[in-house]
Chain A
Amino acid sequence: MEKRYSKDRLRRSMMFVPGNNPGMIADSRIYGADSIMFDLEDSVAYTEKDAARMLVYNALKTLDFGKKEVVVRINDLSSGLGALDLEAVVPAGVHVVRLPKTDCAQDVIDCEEEIARIEEKHGIPVGTTGMMAAIESANGVLNAREIAHASDRLIGIALGAEDYVTDLKTTRADGIELLFARSMILNAARSAGIAALDTVYSDVNNEEGFLAEVELIRKLGFDGKSVINPRQIGALHRAFIPSEKDLNKAYAIMDAIAEANARGSGVASLKGKMIDRPVVIRAQRLIALAEADSASEEE
């Protein structure tokens, strides 16, 4: 079975594209985001849900998005709209369904069952379509580990901060209000071996604030971030590119490992320091990130 998604791909940026805006849908590929996310939820007025669903369906069936990961944020299943969204986007070839307002593992399981039923109905191998879950409440944050482990289809979990801070009875500030949620989501994602994606930074005119937030989430260990404006993509990607110094060190570590292997020695060292396994893993990740970045530039 050929899956439409890969758990290992680069996901520094996931760009929100309003699902009822044909111009933005048509142009979405050119901005260089790693993932494009067509939104059927909050950016679409209730009276236009049917038209947006039809538009995204036709766009998915017709347009060529190259090697981009194509995600659709559906409405939550309890609204009665989510199941209708899945009926349209699963056969149309969406790579990953983003489930909003995920409070517990059962939300993921319910969505997966619905996707599996639709795949089967259309003769699509069950398991072809990927999923990701957005956590947007205190309950969801506390259940993050169970959510992250709820389905093999999950490529990642994401933080949706606006609803979350409202639930916490606070507002978006300097990031301290999100520290617990980010840490929970990150650790839950890593324990399940999937991606951790940060929330949007809505003040598109505050570049300094945006860069500070990007630096923070990169240091914490996030894979990337949702963006609402193409202007944020370049700066976000640059922040994730390894420095030349770090990259050279990573190559030197891998060379030392190769040399030790060639000697038949299980112990490698660089400049007198033994190279531990975590050092090798970090070096491999850094090189993979740099290579994936070059590949995405060539697209």
Chain B
Amino acid sequence: MELKHTAVAGTMESSDIMVTIEPQTGGGIQLELTSSVMQQFGRQIESVIRETLRGLGVENAAVSAVDKGALDCTVRARVSAAALRAADQKAYPWEVRQ
């Protein structure tokens, strides 16, 4: 997925996460995460963000995420929405619930 411009998804409300994705030409994924539950879940949130971007084929980006206690499914949703917006892409590989 080719990112074209900076995009944001999510809010600063409780249980949400606000994700900003900025295209980069190299350097992999540079992630800046702040979270109200950093001590307990910081690693888990970071892992979900990186895994989601990998799944979408985003290799280089500056990602800023402000977490307010989001569940993993919310983190995945907001990262995916921000990446699609940054790529001006509407199509998404929807999958069947297992």
Q: Which residues of A contact B (CB under 8 A)?
A: 21-23, 26, 50-51, 54-55, 57-63, 84, 87-88, 91-93, 122-124
Contacts and interface: CB of A to CB of B under 8 A. Distances in A.
A21 B9 CA distance: 12
Contacts of B94: 57, 87-88, 91-92, 122
Given A23-B16, A50-B81, A122-B94, 6 more contacts: A22-B13, A51-B78, A55-B73, A55-B81, A63-B73, A91-B94
A23 B96 contact: no
Contacts, number: 72
Contacts of A50: 81, 84-85, 90
A22 B73 CA distance: 9
A123 B16 CA distance: 33
Nearest to B97: A93
B74 A124 contact: no
A140 to B, nearest CB: 30
A50 B77 CA distance: 10
B3 interface: no
A26 B71 contact: yes
Contacts of A59: 73-74, 77
Contact of B73 (A21, A62, A87, A122): A62
A133 to B, nearest CB: 24
A61 B90 contact: no
B70 interface: yes
Please indicate which of the listed interface residues A26, A60, A88, A124 has the most CB atoms of chain B within 10 Å of its own CB: A26
A62 B77 CA distance: 11
Please indicate which of the listed interface residues A26, A54, A57, A122 has the most CB atoms of chain B within 10 Å of its own CB: A54
A23 B14 contact: yes
A218 B87 CA distance: 51
Contacts of B85: 50
A122 B15 CA distance: 31
A62 B70 CA distance: 13
Size category of the B interface is: 20 to 34
Given A50-B85, A54-B80, A22 B71 contact: yes
Interface string B60-98: 000000000011111011101100110000101011110
Interface string B15-31: 11000000000000000
Contacts of B13: 21-23
Given A54-B80, A55-B77, A22 B70 contact: yes
Nearest to A20: B11
A250 to B, nearest CB: 40
A55 B70 CA distance: 11
A49 to B, nearest CB: 10
A148 B98 CA distance: 32
Nearest to A62: B73
A84 B90 CA distance: 9
A22 B95 contact: no
B96 A57 contact: no
A131 B53 CA distance: 34
Q: Which 4 A-B pairs have the closest CB atoms?
A: A23-B15, A93-B97, A62-B73, A58-B73
